[in-house]
Structure 1
């Protein structure tokens, strides 16, 4: 999806950045030229999308030290373009901009140009898509970002036209404007970039604060909202900002699970939506499988790219919906989707390619568009008449003779009510085969043959589930073949490292959280289907490696391996179009806990969920895969009785000693210049130092914000809360801490970090400023600063 807003109208600072456009440079216009035979720095890449640009006259670099060092050394801004092979507008930009020698000359002279495949580097994509959303309130690809040499964005957009239009200035003018402002007003550009970077940091760490873990409340809030948004006329879920309809498989899967627990409205919403999608142009009516999304509420006109991740998830949803309802149309659609995967996306090794592009020969959907005359010519008048009794052509553009095939809605719904939909489709099988054969003789869209681990893992799960539900051994065997290939080629047992992708026969970059989590999840699905211990053992090995590589000290799970080259943390994504790595990981950890009875898996799931709670509480509908996991038997076993975190009310302070009623229920009393006593309110405790678990906040003496070395902390007590039956170490009542000799500066900067809890309540961590001059010990009335 591509926004085409005017780039100068987005925010006030954009108007300043545009400055006085240097239009005279291109007064005569720009004419696109053919690609140059030269190669740029992408020629050594193995990524299909990058290789498509290796002969552009733009001096492209892949993301990496060579490009980033060049930008710093030459003090040039970076033009970062993020796209992917199946993206239509990415290829339009290549034809109109990047293959134009005059435009390329400006890009090369004024900028360091970096091209990123979002499927190869989802961490970079997520970071700078957050910037796009903050700056323009939209999203989509290509995502084109102008960065300072230290990687802070200062201008952002999507498709830029080669010449000015009524809505946008031309790309050459924009380049000239940004170059002028960078060279003549660098301080102002950097100031703007710093403001944007600050907003990105704040948004990316929005989940750091704690919130109650309350799956029941989250589920009820999400279900109320989604059923309110359900479109009872067209199916799907209405958006306040766009007419486009996305399948949103995680949402459908969660609602299906809700329906299985006795929520008939949820089941109806899912089934009606699945049937509407299968009737529309969103589904390839000839070959099966689903396109990316529909541009209209009726699912008629699609965006034509076809993604492995979408189709794997939808195969799973249709198969599970059939298992739950036994409706034959859902079975038929699941079978057609599986056939598409195996016919059009499967590679010779048995694994799956990533996507099929939206365009053919520069025209979006060209392979899939028909006119009535073309269908008549293939089928003949009589067969065409029978075909058009059910099918219609939905015009992609107003007034166009060609269109995309979809079913006539009134006819299809009548057939469904009569239970004759599948029978009619089978009657039309000869016509469908003839049209598919004719289409296969047309020029075909490109296929992106890179092998992405997480996407193939979703295919494993879907094929295994569909094989069981549809009683189709071939699908189960296909799933096992992919599963074995991934274990043999993507997993390094010696380094315990999983790779993210293979491309051109070459190993790609290290895996992300979702690669580990989704592959482990796929193996657990096979373990359920096959009852073979090797699959659960592989899942356990992957989960252990996942925690080793991605778990932070507080138990939260990072989305990407740590990298010094990225200036921002990778923001959380939620489960809108696919499960997030965090949601998939928690599902794996909970299932392993249920299968093995080993408490450390459940503990890891708890620690991983706590840092997400604030975001889930704020927008539970963005986390349907997580909600489905928490509502499962494995989720309920761990989280149903989890104590809720609450905050103390001022009234709760009544009766405590004078000075002890800070919100953290801790008072500091100095016994000597090197010895302090902590008075902890009755009924409360604080975590001892060292704490029992990495996610617990140990009471710590700080100096200058860092732990003070040499403090002698007292022996702890053992406390057994419901969430940790094995016990955790704490301090209660009065405890004494012995400090090392301190300089006057250190004494003045002393602070104490604590988190007070009782049996059911934990307060937010706080830092108590306790420093004083050397003339007398610090006094016991601390100022509290919230972290």
Structure 2
């Protein structure tokens, strides 16, 4: 018989709806039940595409004896971290403080007042590698609760007090300047892996936001070292196993330093960010590889993650059926020489050479992850194209990884920005249409009549959880990119609506610091607050970027001031930990450059000369430049006010702080005006 999770919209929670564990979703009623029964709460946090979450579920939560013990001694609460990043953040902070590490599944034991007192991540069904079994943990916690309750309450109280004292010291005195950005670049240079690209050792994650900073820094200053790090990292990732050489799109991270063996889950946020990164790299360099990867990644997003309602699903699982009934990580993506022969016949040897498939294998059990170890120029392009098509068709016949169809507002905002810009750069109106459809879904389903966002939806139905700061920042970013690409000012208006909430509900009026949850959101044991970028821009830096762009579009001093105050923490952190504030550093580059405001006016939006100027403006590399496109004095964009045609011809104006250079009708002069000074 299904448990309470059967009524939820989260695919992750629904995966546990048939567990014998009497799960509760995160709700006040669960804690009231624990108080009524006088038992502690087991909080288990994970997400749909998490490999070890599935392992622990199979080993423990599907086991009747374990479930019976849990049901007798605990109230069990299951949380999807992607639906409730605030809950995840608060308790992950406690886990990391107590154990020195974190991860998922996250296992936390709480009092009925939601105060944590014992922590862990994955626990095996039997003692293993120095770890106790999950049953041993449960019995130990239950015994401590029954026999040493005073000690448990004392520990929980101390943890909550310690967390309360961790509120971020604002740190910075104003936004970062030239000195801080130069120090950040120096720090990145020290951590750069010159042999393999990327930063640090294994596991190695795609440094999307750092690359955006490096591209902007090069555009503004001409620093060739910054561009070289960005180029080399992008090439190594694109040629490695972390990139899907057949179907496009990136896996979550590489388990090795060489980008060979990925953790195979594919996340929407990674692919949206990387699609935009490669499009921006092409914009800066004209790289054919960057163009190919940007377009293939965009096509992957539309083909494999788009939902029937027009939004984008959260993720594809790492695991899938290997054809024998076993659920195996990477089974969908890897190949043996024999599998190549089965599909390609006499062309198998060429494919093995091209993709680096060996008899020994680069993954497990003699299988290989497809890479591009050699220059593609030595192979016949038509032949390789035919081989790719045949392998992709054969792979489509394999059992596919599961898809988490939950639509997350923030990640869809990132996808809107990436698809809108990629479509505009490469004359792919279908990609712009996909961005418009996703933005429309966000407005129709996620945005209420007061301009407040809902975090998630599924099957066109809004979830119950309020949007957090990253939702407001990333969706506003997507709407602003869409406004620049389409010339439709309504997207600027929607961005302004969201950013007004940032100013009134997420920002500290005294310091300008930002919180991850709104002032009127559900109260947890601590109000989460984190300015550091992780897999995606933090809510803090995402909001700072959107605030700055909106101010450039409108001339709004409150929005620019809020952006600059938010960047104070980047001034403090950038020189010390640049890898973890990459988007904040990118926003700081835009601020130092202006950012530039570009108004393109034409007799109508379809005019060919006006469209050429518009595309030229979008392809400008000036950091964070905003573009308004329309007819003279259109009320769609403030930047278009008092911007007449020059001699009756379509005209472009490049401005800073609404002070403009001489207008031009020449695309080449406009291009020069949007490069470094």
Which one scores higher on RCO, CA 8 angstroms, separation ≥ 6?
2
SS in 1 for 2:369: strand
The reply on whether 1:472 has 2:472 as its aligned counterpart is no
Q: Aligned runs of 1:143-158 on 2, under 5 Å?
A: 143-158=106-121
Aligned to 1:556: 513
Contact 1:460 1:480 survives alignment (8 Å): yes
Within the candidate set 271, 289, 297, 2:249 is matched to 289
In structure 2, distance between residues paired with 1:178 and 1:607: 45
Aligned-pair CA distance for 1:630: 1.5
Map of 1:102 onto structure 2: 65
Aligned-partner SS, 1:363: strand
In structure 1, what is the Cα distance between the partners aligned to 2:562 and 2:593?
13
SS at match of 1:145: strand
- Tell me: CA distance 1:616–1:234, structure 2 relative to 1, closer, same or farther (3 Å): closer
Name the structure 2 match of 1:765.
none
Q: CA RMSD in A?
A: 2.1
- What is the distance in 1 between the residues matched to 2:357 and 2:183? 40
How many angstroms apart in 1 are the aligned matches of 2:522 and 2:495? 29
Partner-residue secondary structure (3-state), 2:551: helix
User: Which segment is superposed worse, 574-583 or 120-129?
Assistant: 574-583
Which of 449-458 and 500-509 deviates more? 500-509
- Hey, what's the Cα distance between the residues in 2 that align with 1:376 and 1:563? 58
The 5 Å alignment of 1:686-701 reads none
Distance across 2 between alignment mates of 1:636 and 1:396: 51
Contact 1:219–1:620 at 8 Å: present in 2 too? no
How far off is 1:385 after superposition?
1.2
Is residue 63 of structure 2 the alignment partner of residue 87 of structure 1? Answer: no
Partner of 2:136: helix, strand, or coil?
helix
Answer whether contact 1:250 1:577 (CA < 8 A) is retained: no
Cα–Cα, structure 1 residues 425 and 293, in superposed 2: closer, same or farther, change >3 Å?
Answer: farther
Structure 1 residue 530 displacement after superposition: 2.1
Q: Name the CA shift for 1:213/1:486 in 2 (closer, same or farther; >3 Å).
A: closer
* Counterpart residue number, 2:533: 575
Counterpart position of 1:782: none
Matches within 5 A, 1:259-658: 259-261=218-220, 262-361=222-321, 362-380=327-345, 382-393=346-357, 400-408=365-373, 411-412=374-375, 415=376, 420=377, 427-492=383-448, 494-508=449-463, 509-554=465-510, 555-561=512-518, 562-610=520-568, 614-615=572-573, 619-633=577-591, 636=594
**Structure 1 unmatched runs, 5+:** 1-37, 639-787
Matched residue, 1:230: 192
Q: 1:45 and 2:4 equivalent?
A: no
Gaps of 5+ in 2: 322-326, 597-677
Which consecutive aligned stretches of 4+ in structure 1 deviate over 3 angstroms post-superposition?
Answer: 208-215, 393-399, 423-427, 562-565, 606-621, 633-638
Q: Please state how far the C-alpha of 1:150 moved relative to its aligned partner.
A: 2.1
Instruction: Name the CA distance, whole Å, in 2 between partners of 1:513 and 1:187.
Output: 37
1:256 corresponds, among 201, 215, 222, to: 215
The structure-2 alpha-carbon separation of the partners of 1:637 and 1:312, relative to structure 1 and needing over 3 Å to count, comes to closer
**1:133-212 alignment, distance < 5 Å:** 133-203=96-166, 205-208=167-170, 211=173
TM-score by length of 2: 0.83
Aligned partners of 1:266 and 1:611: how far apart in 2? 23
Q: Across the two proteins, how many residue pairs are aligned to each other?
A: 586
Q: Find the aligned partners of 1:498 and 1:490 in 2 and give their Cα distance.
A: 5
In the alignment, the residues of structure 1 paired with residue 331 and residue 306 of structure 2 have an alpha-carbon distance, to the nearest angstrom, of 23
Structure with bigger helix share is 2
Q: What is the CA distance between 1:113 and its match in structure 2?
A: 0.7
Structure 1 segment 607-756 matched on structure 2, within 5 A? 607-610=565-568, 614-615=572-573, 619-633=577-591, 636=594
Q: Is this contact kept in 1: 2:533–2:583, CA < 8 A?
A: yes
Q: Secondary structure at the match of 2:43?
A: strand
Q: Return the offset for 1:527.
A: 1.9
**Secondary structure of 1:406's aligned partner:** coil
Q: What SS does structure 2 have at the residue aligned with 1:480? A: helix
Report if aligned partners of 2:197, 2:229 keep a CA contact under 8 Å in 1: yes
Q: Deviations over 1:364-410 (max 9, x none)?
A: 11222221111110110x211111121123878876222322222xx
Quote the residue 2:602 is aligned against. Answer: none
Task: Give yes or no for contact 1:234–1:297 (8 Å, CA) kept in 2.
Answer: yes
d(CA) in 2 for partners of 1:305, 1:226: 27
Q: In 2, are the aligned partners of 1:131 and 1:200 still within 8 Å (CA)?
A: yes
Corresponding residue SS for 1:400 = coil
Q: In 1, distance between residues paired with 2:441 and 2:576? A: 40
The match for 1:217 is: 179
CA contact (8 A) 1:207 1:612 kept: no
CA distance in 2, matches of 1:173, 1:40: 25
Separation in 1 of the partners of 2:35 and 2:570?
A: 36
Higher-Rg structure is 1
Output the CA distance in 1 between the equivalents of 2:143 and 2:114.
Answer: 19
Q: Secondary structure, in 3 states, of the residue corresponding to 2:24?
A: strand
Cα 1:377–1:360 change in 2 (3 A) is same
Write the distance in 2 (CA, Å) between the matches of 1:268 and 1:609.
26
* Counterparts of 1:397 and 1:105, CA distance in 2: 43
Please state if 1:130 is matched with 2:93.
yes
Name the CA distance, whole Å, in 2 between partners of 1:612 and 1:269.
21
Does the CA-based 8 Å contact 2:337-2:352 persist in structure 1?
no
For residues 412-445 of structure 1, what are the alpha-carbon distances to aligned partners after superposition, in whole Å with 9 as ceiling and x for unaligned?
3xx4xxxx38x75553111111111111111111
Kept in 2, the 8 Å contact 1:491–1:498? The answer is yes
Q: 2:254 touches 2:261 (CA, 8 Å); kept in 1?
A: yes
Report deviation, 1:282.
Answer: 0.4
By how many angstroms is 1:154 displaced?
2.0
Question: 2: distance between equivalents of 1:424 and 1:131?
Answer: 55
1:325-375 CA-partner distances (Å, limit 9, x unpaired): 111111111111111111111112222111001111421112222211111
TM-aligned CA deviation for residue 215 of structure 1: 3.2
TM-aligned CA distance change 1:214 to 1:441, over 3 Å: closer
* Pair 1:217–1:523, CA change in 2 (3 A): same
Superimposed CA distance per residue, residues 738-762 of structure 1 (whole angstroms, 9 cap, x where no aligned partner) = xxxxxxxxxxxxxxxxxxxxxxxxx
Judged with a 3 Å threshold, the aligned counterparts in structure 2 of structure 1 residues 462 and 637 are, in CA distance, closer, same or farther, namely closer
SS at 1:582 equivalent: helix
